[in-house]
Structure 1
Amino acid sequence: MACDAVVKDDVRKTTLKLARPAGVKLVIKSVDDSIEALRSGVTDKYRLFIVVESIEDAYRLAKGYSEIEHINIGGTKPREGADVRLSSTVFATDRDVELLHELSDAGIEVEIRQVPRDEKILI
């Protein structure tokens, strides 16, 4: 997980560790530390599934590590200012929408799909 807030929250870290599927390694880092680890090559031997907490974190990660080619926005929490409903599970601010379009314009495939059997919605 790449999330600045979770790194500082022991309760959330413990919850994520308990929810981790058997056989899956969980690493929790800040977004900047995640970018540094990706750039260093230390993660090259692994298949990675990186979870972030927000569209902004996904944007920061993709801008900080140019090898990211695909982003799936599985869901976001409704929150103040997130008045744009991109799907039944994705609520975004106008700024979030700008960031997603910037990523898409840069050649990164940005999709909305909560579970694999759902139809892919491209941004």
Structure 2
Amino acid sequence: MIIQFSRIDDRLIHGQVTTVWVKEAKAERIIICNDEIHQDPIRTTLLKQAAPPGIKVNVVNIEKAVSVYNNPKYEKDTVFYLFTNPHDVVRLVEQGVDIKKINIGGMAYHEGKTQITKAVSLDANDVDAFNQLDKLGVELDLRVVYSDPNVDFIKKINEFKWD
């Protein structure tokens, strides 16, 4: 499997993804990797319907994502991985999925999270996951839109106090 692009965006497939990031990714398939969404048939159907024309969408759990990545049948497939959180990315990378770079695009504010940019809010568990990804050698690319300048994400999260 050829990973063209990987992004964390809890909105998953939306305008910015369908009009800009899909074109940048140059992938034939979007794979949404999340156990919870995989178990929600209504949300899965809606995500597939939101895909841009000509792009296939699969919603899989983490176990299936690893299995498909390792299946020689898909070795020539180009994919755009979408995640809702950094924890799922860690799980894939720790199981041998070769994600070299992850774009952090959007993580909504919820109670207990700290807003670090206009589009990204984290809690201490998220920070731990991002630090883990950094230690695993995954480049962390904080850009909501393609034209945004890249920000040193680890430096950014270290500007805040985490309990």
2:121 corresponding residue in structure 1:
91
> Which stretch shows the higher mean deviation, 101-110 or 38-47?
38-47
Aligned positions, number: 122
User: What amino acid is aligned across from residue 95 of structure 1 in structure 2?
Assistant: N
Higher strand share: 2
Does the 8 Å contact 2:48/2:58 carry over to 1?
no
1:42 aligns with 2:91: no
Does the 8 Å contact 1:77/1:91 carry over to 2?
yes
1:120 corresponding residue in structure 2:
150
2:107 corresponding residue in structure 1:
76
1:28 corresponding residue in structure 2:
59
Change (3 A) 1:66 1:6: closer
Identity of aligned residues (%): 26
| Aligned-residue offset at 1:43 | 2.9
Aligned mates of 1:59, 1:29 — CA distance in 2: 16
| Aligned-residue offset at 1:8 | 1.2
- TM-score, with structure 1 as normaliser: 0.89
| Aligned-residue offset at 1:66 | 4.1
| Aligned-residue offset at 1:16 | 0.5
Gaps of 5+ in 1: none
- TM-score, with structure 2 as normaliser: 0.69
Gaps of 5+ in 2: 1-31, 154-163
Does the 8 Å contact 1:109/1:122 carry over to 2?
no
1:65 aligns with 2:81: no
Does the 8 Å contact 1:113/1:120 carry over to 2?
yes
Aligned mates of 2:149, 2:104 — CA distance in 1: 13
Q: Name the SS of the counterpart of 1:72 in structure 2.
A: strand
Q: Name the SS of the counterpart of 1:42 in structure 2.
A: helix
Q: Name the SS of the counterpart of 1:89 in structure 2.
A: coil
- 1:101-123 CA distances to partner (integer Å, 9 max, x unpaired)? 12112211011111211111232
CA-based RMSD of the aligned residues comes to 1.5
Q: Name the SS of the counterpart of 1:74 in structure 2.
A: strand
